[in-house]
């Protein structure tokens, strides 16, 4: 497929560092001298022996798909912000909230919780 070889020329790049991930936005040239975009997600991870390696995922995006891609990206990011807001929800906060909800449901059921250590 055109543009997927290592010989494609890099024209322009932007890097976005986001926590443990890094995103690379690279404009490259096809054999026909047209441009396309590669988006690479790179995430540092570790082997069992502790040595680091990078997991990489690439998307190749061609000009004919730019507008549809931008529209879809805008729609899904707008949906996420409208549903969950811009505040970052961490996993630990989510687990704390679920624990509180569970405790509330158990106390609403009329059952009294007793810690066996309190009896000794």
| Structural domains in the chain (count) | 1
Question: Is 2 part of a structural domain of the chain?
Answer: no
| 81: its two tokens | 């912000």
pLDDT over 90 percentage in the chain? 57
Give the pLDDT of residue 90. 81
4 occurs within a structural domain: no
Q: Residue 102 has what pLDDT?
A: 58
CA 6 from centroid of its chain's CA atoms: 26
* CATH classification of the domain holding 55: 3.10.450.700
* pTM for the full predicted model: 0.63
- Could you read off the pLDDT of 1-24 as tens digits, one per residue? 444 555 566 799 999 999 889 999
Q: Is the pLDDT of residue 73 over 50?
A: yes
State the Cα–Cα distance between residues 9 and 56, nearest whole angstrom.
20
Give the pLDDT mean for 71-95: 87
Mean pLDDT of 73-93: 89
């Amino acid at each position: 497929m055109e543009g997927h070889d290592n010989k494609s020329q890099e024209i322009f790049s932007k890097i976005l560092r986001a926590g443990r991930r890094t995103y690379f936005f690279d404009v490259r040239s096809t054999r026909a001298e047209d441009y396309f975009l590669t988006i690479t997600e790179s995430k540092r991870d570790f082997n069992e022996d502790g040595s680091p390696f990078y997991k990489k995922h690439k998307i190749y995006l061609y000009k004919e798909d730019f507008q549809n891609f931008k529209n879809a990206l805008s729609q899904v990011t707008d949906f996420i912000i409208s549903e969950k807001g811009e505040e970052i929800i961490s996993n630990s906060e989510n687990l704390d909230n679920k624990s509180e909800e569970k405790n509330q449901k158990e106390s609403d059921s009329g059952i009294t919780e007793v810690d066996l250590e309190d009896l000794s």
